[in-house]
Amino acid sequence: MRPFHYAQPDSTAEALAAIGAGSAAADETRLPAPPQYLAGGTNLLDLMKIGVAQPPALVDLARLRREHGAIAADGNALKLGALARMAEAAEHPAVLRDYPVIAQSLRLAASQQLRNMATLGGNVLQRTRCSYFRDPSWSACNKRQPGSGCAAIKGVHRRLAVLGVSDHCIAHFPGDFAIALAALGATVELLAPGGERRSLDFEALHRLPGDTPDVETVLRPGELITGFTVPAGPWTRRSLYLKIRDRESYDFALASAAVALQIEGGVVRQARIGLGGLVAKPWRSHVAEAVLAGRPLDRATAEAAAEAAFVGAVTHRETEFKPELGRRTLVRALLEAARMEV
């Protein structure tokens, strides 16, 4: 691991000032990377150890948990502080009762030890597990070295994406919690070093790779995620997260589905569908939701929605199985959610 400067501010204002000053210095001296925020560190520190991430400075947010670590729910929304631990959210009574898809996505995402340390804000910004991105000895990785190519396309890519990919990158987004946020139409609250606050649809936070795979989000320099808002709705209780992986104990998804349904009189009134494991970014399938609206949810309807969800999937040699796996995963998730007692 390379040397870096470390700061542990006592307030949000100090953290923003520290990251702003570091970003300005990086621009002036043309350092290879800007300073970064450190939350739980469960992904960032790994990337620093293997030489993928080389920030010249880290701004530790641990002392800001009292400002941005709360979890609260009322009849209108669920509020999740960005510095709340994954374990805290997964075990929160309101989340377990009214937003089971969120609790399940968090519990299935990591070991208990990691959930006790990792934060919600850091979790949604985790980087791909593509082997070529995580191994600097491979020179061809557009996400790590723009313009160098994508070794994964002709290499080992069984775990990578089939939705949202481009000719420049087929890396996948490996997270689970973010898939639930996208499905539920959450928003993310952001705070910039200059004090500007803004709120985005969570679905818009991450970018598709296109021809700039190295630009993964729409975050501005030094911008801090402070929290998430998940709107309440009659569909949130009838929700679940289904994760298909090679080993049940602890692994990243080959395919996953976050579904939330409002069913009245045997008919789907509202559907929320997120897909993970085989996507380039947290993915909400609006086309699959539209197929379900106003129809009874039986196997035929679920299969029609799943077919719609994977129109446009792009496969390579080792990922040819993934659209079918994704369709079966979504069908199973929809039928299980339809049987839930709420």
CATH of the domain at 215: 3.30.390.50
Reported as a pLDDT band with limits 50, 70 and 90, residue 295 is very high
Please check the confidence at residue 3 and state whether its pLDDT lies above 60: yes
Whether 242 is covered by a domain: the verdict is yes
324, two tokens: 């079918």
- Looking up residue 41, the CATH number of its domain turns out to be 3.30.43.10
Pair 225, 333 in one domain: yes
Q: Average pLDDT in the 242-254 region?
A: 93
Tell me what percent of the residues of the chain surpass a pLDDT of 90. 94
Amino acid of residue 208: L
SS3 232: coil
Pair 191, 275 in one domain: yes
The neighbour count for residue 265, using CB atoms within 10 Å, is 6
Whether 230 is covered by a domain: the verdict is yes
Q: pLDDT (tens digit, 9 = 90+) per residue, 129-166?
A: 999 999 999 999 999 999 999 999 999 999 999 999 99
Whether 333 is covered by a domain: the verdict is yes
Residues 72, 124: Cα–Cα separation, whole Å: 19
Question: For residue 30, what pLDDT is reported?
Answer: 52
Is residue 146 within 8 A of residue 223, CB to CB? The reply is no
Rounded to 5 degrees, φ, ψ at 227 are 180, 180
Alpha-carbon dihedral sign for residues 220, 223, 225, 230: negative
265, two tokens: 């009189």
Q: Average pLDDT in the 319-331 region?
A: 98
What residues contact 73, with CB distance under 8 A and at least 6 apart? Answer: 79, 94, 95, 98, 99, 232
Is residue 40 within 8 A of residue 85, CB to CB? The reply is yes
Question: For residue 21, what pLDDT is reported?
Answer: 74
Residues 21, 85: Cα–Cα separation, whole Å: 28
> Could you say which of 12, 35, 60 is where a domain stops?
60
Pair 95, 8 in one domain: no
Residues 37, 101: Cα–Cα separation, whole Å: 28
Q: pLDDT (tens digit, 9 = 90+) per residue, 163-216?
A: 999 999 999 999 999 999 999 999 999 999 999 999 999 999 999 999 999 999
Domain count for the chain = 2
Pair 13, 119 in one domain: no
**Domain boundaries, position 42:** 1-60
Whether 183 is covered by a domain: the verdict is yes
CA angle 186, 210, 206 (to 5 degrees): 20
Rounded to 5 degrees, φ, ψ at 279 are -125, 155
Q: Average pLDDT in the 57-66 region?
A: 96
The neighbour count for residue 40, using CB atoms within 10 Å, is 22
pTM above 0.85, yes or no: yes
Residues 140, 128: Cα–Cα separation, whole Å: 15
Name the strand (E) or helix (H) holding 44.
Answer: helix 44-49
Q: pLDDT (tens digit, 9 = 90+) per residue, 6-55?
A: 999 999 999 999 998 766 555 544 556 789 999 999 999 999 999 999 99
Q: Average pLDDT in the 61-69 region?
A: 97
The length of the chain, given as a count of residues? 342
Compute the CA torsion angle 156, 147, 35, 125 (nearest 10 deg): -40
Pair 46, 115 in one domain: no
Whether 310 is covered by a domain: the verdict is yes
What residues contact 326, with CB distance under 8 A and at least 6 apart? Answer: 162, 163, 255, 257, 275, 277, 278, 306, 309, 310, 313
Is residue 274 within 8 A of residue 282, CB to CB? The reply is yes
Pair 48, 178 in one domain: no
Residue 306: burial class (beta carbons within 10 Å; 0-12, 13-18, 19+): buried
Amino acid of residue 20: G
Pair 80, 53 in one domain: no
Rounded to 5 degrees, φ, ψ at 313 are -60, 140
Pair 22, 100 in one domain: no
